[in-house]
């Protein structure tokens, strides 16, 4: 019975739990409506994110179909819309440039396995412990990177170089300014202005789809003006699934060493975005997702995308929010969204190839600027200096190096700053003469009163306090009533102090210990230094 409850509550996909009771015609109609409205926004966006990732729109649509379907069938959240997103654009672009598309596929297979392990090991909730300045920093950095990489397309430049860094790219843009296509720039600028205006005054309008139609009409009128289009750069949009395949050397040792950093970055970032989308949809709908099942579903979705030649996919935050607001009831709305994406691709195939790339760049500019969220995150610049430092450092490393290093640096910096702040909350007061009745009778003794966690970051505070004692009395009492936790470093400082004063025939009493600390100290006391020196919490603390 317990096993049955465990399986039904934790590892059954949400689509089965959501439709097993009271799912009728009204709910289906609501899902169809939500799926249709969502697809209108998702269709142009997923193509633009594919282009920003350095692959054709066909691969973006393919990823939506495969990953979007599998996520709905196996995920643990009710309203997720999964596909290529701006969060992955720079990772995919860099991976393809360094390892080729086959290398990206191998990394995506590894990432899928990591996501599955995240879910099955039930560490989905732990990802929420990543500090917000880190997530806000690399998301803003990705948004700025997308804007910079798309500037050449937005201006209609004919680039004669292949820049690899932000500085080189900007220099290349400036040197190629004479090649700017006026029609491409006009279309991009007018599209971006329209998107910004509609977002401000009519946010519910499917502005990306409107801009896509505008771009098609503009291209039909000015088809002979030398504008770069989807067809001229990427060929026709393919409307069928390729044969499933797996690179032959996915799990070789050299491949694992070379691609694991990219794979982990995809898994980490995809998991973060997916769970963030699930939390947002929960807040909008009043429902509740299951983090670990969602990660399992995301792993299956990305594995399917890799096998069929797709790119990394995760929750698209904007379209997921729209799915909820449009009245979706179950994950079937996500499946309906996929069906409409297929329908759009088939029906609009000949028109998609003539969409100007500057039009899609305007969409990416708008979406990328939303990713930066500077208007919402400006308070981070007014937050404590440590949080501002983490935020700005993560942005800088995302722009200058890559997102893998940015996340690593952000997390390490956050950890060190947290340790520093935690250590500052630990205090050690020294009393050269004090009276304590319970332990040493009426005799005077030297005392140290510690408050706060006694861990490696605060160990120097205790060390300095003990060193400051004059050591002129027969007894030294260490009051630890207000110490909830001691780690190995704190215990080492105490042991070394006891060993030192023993040579001077001074007795040390450590009082006010809770049972957990006593147990830990006895376990770590291999040399027996603490024997006879520990007292439980019934002692009275020093006044």
Per 3-state DSSP, the chain is made up of helix, strand and coil in percentages (nearest 5) of 65, 10, 25
Instruction: Answer whether residue 535 shows pLDDT above 90.
Output: no
Confidence of residue 303 (pLDDT cuts 50, 70, 90): very high
Please say whether the beta carbons of 506 and 474 come within 8 A: yes
Q: Kindly state whether residues 22 and 171 are assigned to the same domain.
A: yes
Q: Choose the weakest-confidence range: 48-62, 228-242, 302-316, 353-367.
A: 228-242
Return the residue matching tokens 């690399």: 138
Q: How long a stretch of residues is the chain?
A: 543
Confidence of residue 540 (pLDDT cuts 50, 70, 90): very low
Q: Which of 377, 393, 414 is the last residue of a domain?
A: 414
Confidence of residue 1 (pLDDT cuts 50, 70, 90): very low
Q: Which domain holds residue 46?
A: 10-414
Confidence of residue 376 (pLDDT cuts 50, 70, 90): confident
Q: Kindly state whether residues 77 and 222 are assigned to the same domain.
A: yes
Q: Kindly state whether residues 390 and 462 are assigned to the same domain.
A: no
pLDDT for 317 equals 84
Q: Using CA atoms in the order 484, 490, 496, 502, what is the torsion angle rounded to 10 degrees?
A: -10
Determine the average pLDDT of the residues in 315-326.
Answer: 88
Instruction: Answer whether residue 106 shows pLDDT above 90.
Output: yes
Instruction: Answer whether residue 442 shows pLDDT above 50.
Output: no
Q: pLDDT tens digits for 482-503? A: 999 898 898 888 888 888 888 8
Instruction: Answer whether residue 229 shows pLDDT above 80.
Output: yes
Q: Choose the weakest-confidence range: 191-195, 345-349, 450-454, 529-533.
A: 529-533
pLDDT for 543 equals 42
CA distances from 66 to 13, 17, 19, 301, 339 (A): 17, 22, 22, 7, 11
Q: Kindly state whether residues 430 and 531 are assigned to the same domain.
A: yes
Compute the C-alpha angle 170/172/178, nearest 5°: 110
Both tokens of residue 508? 């040390």
Q: Is the dihedral of CA 374, 378, 381, 386 positive or negative?
A: negative
Higher pLDDT, 189 or 9: 189
Please give the DSSP secondary-structure letter assigned to residue 76.
S
Specify the number of domains making up the chain: 2
Confidence of residue 4 (pLDDT cuts 50, 70, 90): very low
Q: Kindly state whether residues 195 and 285 are assigned to the same domain.
A: yes
Confidence of residue 6 (pLDDT cuts 50, 70, 90): very low
pLDDT for 465 equals 87
- CA-closest candidate to residue 62, choices 401, 272, 311: 311
Q: Which of 386, 414, 442 is the last residue of a domain?
A: 414
Report DSSP letters for 3-56, one per residue: HHHHHHHHSS-HHHHHHSSS--HHHHHHHHHHHHHHHHHHHHHHHHHHHHTTS-
Q: Kindly state whether residues 337 and 201 are assigned to the same domain.
A: yes
Q: What percent of the chain has pLDDT over 90?
A: 29
Asked whether residue 220 is domain-assigned, the answer is yes
Determine the average pLDDT of the residues in 392-407.
Answer: 86
Return the residue matching tokens 């982990």: 264
H/E segment holding residue 482: strand 475-482
Q: Is the dihedral of CA 161, 163, 169, 171 positive or negative?
A: negative
pLDDT for 538 equals 55
Q: What is residue 497's three-state secondary structure?
A: helix
Both tokens of residue 47? 């193509």
Asked whether residue 442 is domain-assigned, the answer is yes
Paired with 267 in beta bridges are none
Please say whether the beta carbons of 313 and 83 come within 8 A: yes
Q: pLDDT tens digits for 83-104? A: 998 888 888 988 898 889 999 9
Both tokens of residue 511? 């009082």
Q: Which of 363, 382, 414 is the last residue of a domain?
A: 414
Return the residue matching tokens 């006891």: 498
User: Structure pTM?
Assistant: 0.78
- Residue 531's CATH number: 3.30.750.24
Give me the phi and psi of 290, to 5 degrees please. Answer: -115, 110
- CA-closest candidate to residue 443, choices 417, 475, 401: 475
pLDDT for 398 equals 87
Instruction: Answer whether residue 334 shows pLDDT above 80.
Output: yes
Q: Kindly state whether residues 401 and 528 are assigned to the same domain.
A: no
CA 98 to CA 54: how far, in whole Å? Answer: 12
Q: Kindly state whether residues 408 and 444 are assigned to the same domain.
A: no
Instruction: Answer whether residue 240 shows pLDDT above 60.
Output: yes
Q: Kindly state whether residues 224 and 373 are assigned to the same domain.
A: yes
Q: Kindly state whether residues 361 and 392 are assigned to the same domain.
A: yes
Asked whether residue 193 is domain-assigned, the answer is yes
Q: Kindly state whether residues 408 and 471 are assigned to the same domain.
A: no
Q: pLDDT tens digits for 272-292? A: 889 888 888 888 888 888 889
Q: Kindly state whether residues 389 and 450 are assigned to the same domain.
A: no
Asked whether residue 3 is domain-assigned, the answer is no
CA 45 to CA 154: how far, in whole Å? Answer: 16
Q: 166, exposed or middle or buried, with CB in 10 Å at 0-12, 13-18, 19+?
A: middle
Asked whether residue 385 is domain-assigned, the answer is yes
């Amino acid at each position: 019975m317990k096993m049955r409850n465990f399986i039904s509550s934790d590892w059954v996909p949400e689509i089965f739990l959501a439709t097993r009771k009271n799912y009728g015609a009204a709910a289906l109609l609501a899902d169809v409506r939500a799926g249709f409205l969502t697809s209108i926004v998702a269709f142009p966006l997923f193509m633009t994110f594919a282009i920003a990732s350095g692959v054709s729109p066909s691969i973006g649509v393919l990823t939506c179909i495969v990953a979007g379907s599998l996520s709905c069938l196996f995920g643990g959240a009710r309203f997720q819309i999964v596909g290529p997103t701006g969060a992955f654009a720079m990772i995919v672009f860099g991976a393809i440039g360094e390892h080729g598309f086959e290398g990206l596929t191998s990394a995506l297979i590894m990432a899928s396995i990591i996501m599955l392990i995240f879910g099955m090991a039930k560490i989905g909730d732990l990802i929420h412990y990543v500090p917000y300045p880190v997530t806000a920093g690399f998301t803003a950095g990705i948004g700025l990177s997308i804007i910079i990489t798309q500037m050449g397309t937005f201006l209609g430049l004919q680039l004669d170089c292949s820049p690899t860094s932000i500085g080189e790219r900007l220099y290349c843009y400036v040197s190629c300014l004479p090649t700017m296509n006026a029609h491409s720039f006009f279309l991009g600028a007018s599209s971006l202005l329209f998107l910004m205006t509609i977002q401000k005054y009519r946010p519910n309008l499917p502005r990306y789809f409107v801009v896509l139609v505008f771009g098609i009409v503009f291209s039909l009128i000015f088809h002979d003006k030398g504008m770069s289009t989807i067809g001229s750069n990427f060929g026709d949009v393919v409307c069928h699934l390729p044969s499933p395949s797996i690179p032959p050397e996915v799990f070789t040792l050299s491949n694992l060493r070379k691609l694991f950093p990219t794979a982990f970055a995809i898994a980490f970032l995809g998991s973060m975005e997916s769970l963030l989308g699930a939390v947002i949809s929960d807040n909008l709908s009043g429902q509740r997702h299951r983090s670990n099942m969602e990660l399992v579903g995301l792993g299956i979705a990305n594995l399917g995308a890799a096998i069929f030649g797709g790119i990394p996919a995760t929750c698209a935050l904007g379209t997921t929010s729209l799915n909820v607001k449009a009245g979706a009831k179950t994950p079937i709305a996500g499946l309906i969204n996929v069906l409409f994406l297929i329908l759009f691709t088939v029906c609009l195939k000949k028109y998609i190839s003539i969409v100007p790339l500057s039009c899609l760049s305007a969409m990416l500019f708008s979406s990328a600027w939303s990713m930066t969220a500077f208007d919402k995150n400006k308070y981070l610049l007014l937050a404590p200096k440590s949080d501002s430092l983490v935020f700005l450092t993560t942005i800088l490393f995302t722009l200058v190096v890559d997102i893998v290093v940015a996340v690593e640096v952000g997390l390490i910096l956050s950890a060190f700053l947290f340790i520093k702040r935690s250590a500052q909350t630990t205090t050690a007061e020294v009393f050269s003469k004090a009276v304590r009745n319970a332990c040493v009778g009426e005799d005077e003794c030297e005392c140290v009163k510690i408050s706060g966690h006694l861990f490696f970051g605060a160990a120097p505070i205790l060390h300095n306090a003990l060193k400051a004692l004059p050591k002129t009395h027969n007894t030294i009492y260490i009051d630890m009533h207000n110490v909830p936790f001691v780690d190995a470093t704190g215990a080492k400082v105490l042991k070394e102090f006891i060993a030192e004063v023993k040579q001077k025939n001074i007795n040390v009493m450590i009082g006010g210990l809770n049972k957990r600390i006593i147990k830990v100290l006895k376990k770590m006391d291999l040399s027996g230094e603490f024997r006879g020196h520990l007292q439980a919490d019934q002692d009275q603390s020093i006044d």
